[in-house]
Amino acid sequence: MTRRGFLRTLAGGLSGLAVGGVSALLVPRASAADTVWQIDPDLCVQCGNCRTECVLSPSAVKCVHAYDVCGYCDLCSGYLQPGARRLDTSAEAQLCPTGAIKRTFIEDPYYEYTIDEALCVGCGKCVKGCTAFGNGSLFLQIRHDRCVNCNDCAIARSCPSRAIRRIGAGRPYLLKGERRGA
């Protein structure tokens, strides 16, 4: 290669880099405002960190109930303590430490379970019970009306299963069992 050929190749490469750099400045980048934190319910292990690590008190993480998956069982493992003496609404029979899950009789033997988000602290005890012995209709989600969308989520840093990640704000909630692209 001649000196002139070398300089021509070098000039072409540098101009290509310059055009690429200018175009990178002009193309809008995804910012934290375009994404939100969310829990992948298929990866969550209900470790309890959502309750203790969130910068908010109570946590922005809340239990969500997938009614179409629920069996409406009298013996709900997400509602009742394991080995509960009575299948009733007494505080000692309930698994939730704050009483955030409400049980309403429908007809024998069916009950409806609803979550009072104001009482839910995101501990995941009900989710763990429902997943271990039930059909998994209870799962945790970060409620975006409460989340301050930190750039460095403390819960995500402490999550042992790496279930918390940023996703596009256009589709903020990941649902249990939903297929996701790689």
Tell me: the pLDDT tens digits for 78-108? 999 988 888 888 888 999 999 999 999 999 9
Q: Calculate the CA dihedral of residues 32, 127, 125, 36 and round it to 10 degrees.
A: 0
The yes-or-no verdict on residue 74 having pLDDT over 50 is: yes
Judging by beta carbons within 10 Å of its beta carbon (0-12, 13-18, 19+), is residue 33 exposed, middle or buried? exposed
So what's the pLDDT on residue 23? 54
175 lies in a domain? Answer: no
26 lies in a domain? Answer: no
Pairing of strands 110-115, 101-107: antiparallel
4 lies in a domain? Answer: no
CB 50 within 8 A of CB 63: no
pLDDT category, 169, cuts 50, 70, 90?
confident
Those residues whose C-beta lies under 8 Å from the C-beta of residue 121, and which sit 6 or more positions away, are: 51, 58, 59, 97, 98, 100
| Residue type at 9 in one-letter notation | T
| Residue type at 141 in one-letter notation | Q
pLDDT category, 18, cuts 50, 70, 90?
low
176 lies in a domain? Answer: no
The yes-or-no verdict on residue 27 having pLDDT over 50 is: no
Tally of structural domains, the chain: 1
**What residue numbers bound the domain in which 91 lies?**
32-168
Give CA–CA dist 158/172, Å, rounded: 21
46 lies in a domain? Answer: yes
> What are 137-160's pLDDT values in tens digits?
999 999 989 999 988 899 999 999
pLDDT category, 56, cuts 50, 70, 90?
very high
Give CA–CA dist 49/54, Å, rounded: 8
For the segment 106-122, the average pLDDT, to the nearest whole number, is: 94
